[in-house]
Structure 1
Amino acid sequence: MAHAARCPVVERVGRIAALHPDRTAVVGTAEVLDYRELWLRVDAWWERCATLGLAPGTLVAVLCGDGTGLPSAFLGARAAGLVPLLIDEGLPQSGVDAVWEAARPAAVLRADKDELEPTGEPNPRTLPTEAGYVVFSSGTQDTPKGIVGQAAGLLAFLDWEIAELDVRPGTRVAMLTSPSFDVVYRDLLLPLCSGGELHIANQAVRFTPPAVLPWLAEHGIEVLHAVPSLSARWLVADGPTVDSLRYTLFAGEPLYGRHVQRWRAAAPRTRVVNLYGPSETTLARFHHEIPADCGPGLQPVGRPLPNARVDLVPAEPTSEHGDALRVLITTPHGSLGYLPGTCSPDDLSRLRREHGITRFQTQDRGLLDPEGNLVIVGRLDSLVKRRGTFVDIMRIEAAAAELAEVRAACCVQLTSNSEIVLAVEGPDPAAAAGLHRRLRAPLGRDIPDRVVVLPTLPLLPGGKADRRRVRELLNLEETARGLQGG
């Protein structure tokens, strides 16, 4: 079959399918596909997409459920020259609607129902031929932005990861990530671009933390990508030891040595790698393998991947705690830019794509440790003013992570009264006052005004702590306290 557009990822999977047609490609709850069947389904999707007569680069939505339909729907759309936006059907409808309105897709592929239909959108988006996918940022800090990912950038990262992890035909890789977030492409494409096996966890597993370790063990998973705060919940219940796990790659949040130690107790043979890279720079641009004797505190994100460079540049506001500077990343493998209308003028000024090079001024603050590894110590917007002095709320979170009974921490400044409140998950609610006292020595005047213990911290679908929701909950609590006091 002659494809309408050359996509490097599609071409790679096609070569793998031709070499290993009888090998297992995708393992789901209800069915298992070998590479021959997977490629037949890719062809079928391409033929259906071609009947729409859409211009190359047209944006389409791919609705993803629990089944094995996502890989073939994504690859089929790409083979037809279209640019997919993956949408998790398990997300709240309000979030789906907001993304849909901003994206303006020309068609929708229902991956697990094998259905395709035009949306009737009068002004669908058409993107450059280099585009390989569209993703919306997590919204951890602000309104989600539409990011145009680069097809060649995907494959560049995958080639690095295949070599770095020694991923081979038959290697079993887990997909536990929501399809709506770009990091899912690490799960989805790493095995399929190397002849490995993609094992897709259904929502019953993804949304039930005690079920994850048994699922990993049952499927003999060898490579796992995870978010620290979400994986901490997987460890709450006593689960089986996952002896098959060769590599665990953490990303998306600060990684602390205490969590690494707990994770290694559950997966004693795993090597742990800390990845870092905003969505604007494609999946990850830095990596650091955590040594066996790591300390309990914040871990480095390491050194740049090939063809990436980091510069640390001054930015306001500054912090009195060390020499951290704004992290600026330059790479040919970064994104192509933002979807027009989904970002602010400041966002546009920080992300530039010129002469085949992406230059992105992140909102992260970093420094180099004595070994030359990059350490992300906070964000520019994690410095908040309290009584005329800047306080670093990520420094507060780091101190809380040092406490053994704290599984996860999220610090916010309330809009109702400007208090800085630390919300933690793990200890008994009665322990809040004791935690506050124990933070006084490491934090000094940066100590939070209060510590609140929540049964569980709200998480975004991608696994990160939902800082906005935490702030809303604490603001509501403060309002209720004020009413009771009145």
Structure 2
Amino acid sequence: MIESAVTGRGLHERFLRGLELSPGRTAVRVDAESLTYEAMHELALRRAGALLAMAPQPPRAVAVLADKSPFAYVGILAAMYAGVTVVPLNPRFPAERTRRMLVAAGVSAVLADAAGRASLAETGLDLPVLDESAPAPALDAPAAVRPSDVAYILFTSGSTGRPKGVPITHAANDHYFTLLDKRYDFGPEDVFCQNVDLNFDCAMFEMFCAWGNGAAVHAIPPAAHRDLPAFFAERRMTVWFSTPSGISFIKRMGGLTPGSMPTLRWSFFAGEALLCEDAAAWQVAAPRSRIENLYGPTEGTVTITGHRWSPETSPALAVNGVVPIGRVHEGHEHILLDEGTESQTEGELCISGPQMTSGYLDPEDDHGRFLERDGRRWYRTGDRVRRLADGELVYLGRLDAQVQIHGFRIELAEIDHVVRQYPGVQNAAAVTRPAAHGGLELVVYYTGDRVPPAALRQALATHLPDAMLPKAFLHVAEFPLNSNRKVDRARLAREAAALSDGAS
């Protein structure tokens, strides 16, 4: 029974709205397991009660350290029902990285499955763990939250060799999802894919767009990617979300034949540049789907712009074959800075408004990422964009050494930092090159002693997730320098691209 009114202030209240619309319908399905809205609500109330009953005092932040399962989805909702900050974490990440994130977020309790408990044990941290059997009286209703309370904390790659924590408030999410409700016609009959990892901000789009409209969320099992059209047909999938790299993969698996995905109504792509040729191929395979190219940093609450693909008009707006990213969301201001001077046409995209985080968990990380200007606080995206005549924006590339690999945001300097820790290595420079099957892959050049590539990879795997592990390690006597006497990464990237994938 729902005791609290839907005020629009708490992110969890979107689930309550879905509960009102679809009490007996599926809220989440993972493989053969599923939970209705009513069942998930009751489970979340019980687990929230267990969190708040913890001694000596209720936690301020709760990590959900679990593989995708009904337990993980309920855990995210339960933390929000308890009125505490949720920190979704991947139990497959290296233990040291997980430890740093748990400490940085101030986590004082963990909701964990078997993989999560094993991961936590490797961190050496002594934190109380709630599993599926944790007994406690259920809450009568979700706890009240304030708009300024932090709904969740996510982590992005950091140039100092440690991940940066990004707190996102309930108010930021309320603004974001209110805009999405106006833009899209989702409803209880929709079936959403849940494709990305739960520690990735796009998972919030997948879950709470669906739950706010009484729709079902279906986790996509890895095996389904071998024949996604068949999976879509079986599940009657209507809403898809992935990085653009997903298009290339499905194409390689033979899934992008004309009309192969007729059930899709909406297709969303974010996290990387979307190529016009890929959008066009997807449209042919999903002729009834509207396609949107979304853009946004984690610091801006999932996405901050959107462009609706049109086979007739979008290609003419593209730059370098990349689909525009669209207009900045209503209620926000944006400026383009070209070497510190505001430009009307092209420059670094800086955004101010209700979706922006107020800063990182560690204030030292704010340096260089936030700007005080015209009485406002602006977030510097580090992305260079061009403003078209109609006001839409086109992504041109990164200003710094931050890249996207399969939607995972990576600071190349973080990889450099970790490689340099290996005995005998003097310096390191990570670059990207085109992967054989689309997208980008990482290559590291290093100086000092020559080290077997397998040894370097094994050492890095203890500190970095799989998405950040380089494809190749290339030893050089010294780095080439550009005219500014800096490491010429552009030249290294060109050389890496000219080498075979097996080079080491």
* Displacement of 1:10: 2.0
Q: CA 1:204–1:478 in 2, change beyond 3 Å: closer, same or farther?
A: farther
- The question of 1:361 aligning with 2:377 is answered no
Aligned residues: 406
How large is the Cα RMSD of the aligned pairs? Answer: 4.3
Whole-angstrom CA distance in 2 between matches of 1:285 and 1:89? 29
Give the residue type in structure 1 aligned to 2:351. Answer: I
Out of 397, 420, 430, the residue aligned to residue 378 of structure 1 is: 397
Q: Distance in 1 between matches of 2:239 and 2:94?
A: 29
Selected match of 2:352 from 310, 323, 330: 330
**What pairs up with 1:8-27 in 2 under 5 angstroms?**
8-27=10-29
Shift in Å at residue 42 of structure 1? 1.4
Q: With the length of structure 2 as denominator, give the TM-score of the two structures.
A: 0.69
Aligned equivalents of 2:330, 2:346: Cα separation in 1: 24
Post-superposition Cα deviations, 1:196-224, rounded to whole Å, max 9, x if no partner, equal 1111123544xxx4244433332221111
Please state if 1:343 is matched with 2:342.
no
Structure 2: distance between partners of 1:190 and 1:63: 23
Amino acid aligned to 2:436: E
Deviation, structure 1 residue 421: 7.0
Matches within 5 A, 1:48-447: 48-52=50-54, 58-110=60-112, 120=126, 130-138=149-157, 143-205=162-224, 209-239=225-255, 241-293=260-312, 294-295=314-315, 297-315=321-339, 324-340=346-362, 343=365, 345-347=367-369, 350=370, 359-381=378-400, 422-426=433-437
Q: Call closer, same or farther: CA 1:38–1:370 in 2, change over 3 Å.
A: same
Per the TM alignment, residue 242 of structure 1 is displaced from its structure 2 partner at its CA by 1.3
Residue in 1 that maps onto 2:474: 475
Task: Could you tell me which runs of 5 or more consecutive residues in structure 2 were left unpaired when the two chains were aligned.
Answer: 129-145, 417-426, 439-460, 479-495, 500-504
Structure 2 Cα separation of the partners of residues 358 and 346 of structure 1? 12
CA contact (8 A) 2:51 2:58 kept: no
Q: Check the 8 A contact 1:363/1:380 in 2, yes or no.
A: yes
- Whether the 8 Å CA contact 2:65–2:116 is kept in 1: the answer is no
Shift of 1:98: 3.8
**Does the 8 Å contact 1:326/1:364 carry over to 2?**
yes
- Aligned CA distance change for structure 1 residues 369 and 98 (closer, same or farther; 3 Å): same
Structure 1 residues 91 and 263, CA gap change in structure 2 (3 angstroms): farther
Q: Is the 8 A contact 1:56 1:80 kept in 2?
A: no
- The structure-2 alpha-carbon separation of the partners of 1:253 and 1:478, relative to structure 1 and needing over 3 Å to count, comes to farther
Separation in structure 2 between the aligned mates of residue 84 and residue 419 of structure 1, nearest angstrom: 33
- 8 Å CA contact 1:311, 1:329 repeated in 2: yes
Look up the SS of the partner of 2:16 in the other structure. Answer: helix
1:266 Cα shift? 2.7
1:257-314 CA-partner distances (Å, limit 9, x unpaired):
0111222233222211111111111111111101123337111111122212221122
Distance 1:372 1:344, change over 3 A: closer
**Per the alignment, do residues 197 and 358 of structure 1 end up closer, same or farther by CA in structure 2, a change over 3 Å counting?**
farther
Q: Give the TM-score normalised by the residue count of structure 1.
A: 0.72
